[in-house]
A and B are shown apart, each in its own frame.
Chain A
Amino acid sequence: MSKKKNEKSFEESFERLSDIVEKLEADETTLDDSLTLYEEALELSQFCVERLTQSQARLKELKKRADGIFEIVDSEIS
């Protein structure tokens, strides 16, 4: 729900990875397909590792602006 546009979520990537492993293991894919899958798996696992190790440095706060719109801002609390 909170993912930004055009950005795959960690959850989707992880699911896709498991999916690929299942396909590769099933031994039914052609060499072409397994190469393609393999390359996709590399990319996905790279993405997942990055997501797992990057950290959100700051605590955020939800603020209501004067016009009634909510926005997320850096918190004063560290």
Chain B
Amino acid sequence: MASIPANILSVSGLTRQIKDTLENSFRGVAVSGEISNYKKHTSGHLYFTLKDQDAQISAVMFRGNTMKMFFSLQDGMEVVCRGDVTVYEPRGNYQILVKEIHPRGEGALQLAFERLKKKLFEEGLFDESQKKPLPPFPERIAIVTSPTGAAIRDMISVMRRRFPSVEIVLLPVQVQGSGAAEQIAEAVDACNAFRAFDLIIVGRGGGSIEDLWAFNEEIVARAIHRSGIPVVSAVGHEIDFTICDFVADVRAATPSVAAELIAPDAQSLLESLRNISYTCIGSVNNRIQQLLRSLSSLSGHHAFLRCEEILARHTQNLDELYAAADRTIDLRFERINSELTFYQRQLHAFNPKTLLDRGYAIPRKDGKILRSVHEVHSGDRMHVFLRDGSIESQVHHIQPNHEQEKK
């Protein structure tokens, strides 16, 4: 029988000694490796394994230490962790308790970006067929961004200038640092819960890859992808591409560009409205001319001369209108607006119904304007419309013009 050493340790005693030795020797160590088996517990603590080709070590990062992290971990990511080695006595495990974590070198984030991009691409999140068209005239838009950044100010000023009637609703979020991605994703979901938005802009101004990182997080990509409301991504500068840009329905190079893109130009719309008004004037004027031409078949009728007079006045007014319009082409927004109001008043004046004011009457039968005496028969009921009302009447006698001429 082998001799039993005198100093026998209990399991607890041995473990305690290992713990003391390890924890005193490996305090504040920095270790680099690749993340695997990453899990985020609902408590907010992060669990993962740090490994290299030949070894691995368990790692835990408590919620309190994650507050300064600007990025979320993913398997395969190369990182540098700083922390203390601890021993968990009940299991006889050792692990590194991570206090700080950084991507390892500049390439690490780029790699993480490429990996997520590939994964989401393969899942179809970037499919063109899923992109929603932007509404031509958004009336209420949501902006998910920082309340204090330059981005919100730029977007508001561009939209107020181009399309002042649009209602802008801000969802203030943190756009960088720990928790930013979660806030952005929640805000996009909130817009969809509220529903009554025509459009969502998600964005921020320029910054380093670390600053923009929240927009490269999967949680943001998923929220944008499930949004039923079209999303415009407006992150950073022209050269910055984020995952958010790929999954959004439209990518704008900058926040200002997003505002230009979604807000129609009120001034050019006012010009279109003006053109539409012209066309209406023109068409109705043609109608009047047609009417007068048919009236002119009643040559010799005393109304004819007066009608010509009216037409001449109309035509003159029209010419003036067109001339006035040409002069206003270069004028400012407010001016165009006041002139439009003026044209509209003029339009009212052209309304052929003003003929009634001049003493003419419109005879109607069954709601249709009568153009010929042949459209009624003796005994028919009809209405004669005057400026201030109508007269229900009955036809007693019909006398076509040619008979009148024969006499």
B400 at the interface (CB under 8 A from A): no
Given contacts A20-B280, A49-B337, A56-B168, contact A2 B196 (CB under 8 A): yes
Given contacts A1-B196, A34-B287, contact A61 B171 (CB under 8 A): yes
Chain A residues 28-70 with CB under 8 Å of chain B are 30-32, 34-35, 38-39, 41-42, 45-46, 48-49, 51-56, 59-62, 64, 70
| Interface size, B (range) | 35 or more
Residues of chain B with a CB closer than 8 A to A60's CB = 167-170
Complex alpha-carbon distance, A31 and B172, angstroms: 56
| Interface size, A (range) | 35 or more
Contact between A38 and B139 (Cβ–Cβ < 8 Å)?
no
Contact between B270 and A52 (Cβ–Cβ < 8 Å)?
yes
Residues of chain B with a CB closer than 8 A to A53's CB = 164-165, 266, 270, 333, 337
Given contacts A42-B347, A49-B337, A49-B341, contact A30 B369 (CB under 8 A): yes
Q: Which of B266, B277, B353 contacts A45 (CB 8 A)?
A: B277
B interface residues (Cβ-Cβ under 8 A, vs A): 135-140, 142, 147, 152, 156, 160, 163-172, 190-191, 193-198, 229, 266, 269-270, 273, 276-277, 279-280, 283-284, 286-287, 291, 333, 337, 340-341, 344, 347-348, 351-353, 367-369
Q: List 19 A-B contacts (CB under 8 A).
A: A1-B196, A1-B229, A2-B138, A2-B198, A14-B269, A21-B276, A32-B368, A35-B351, A45-B340, A48-B269, A49-B340, A51-B165, A52-B164, A55-B164, A56-B168, A60-B170, A62-B170, A75-B170, A77-B147
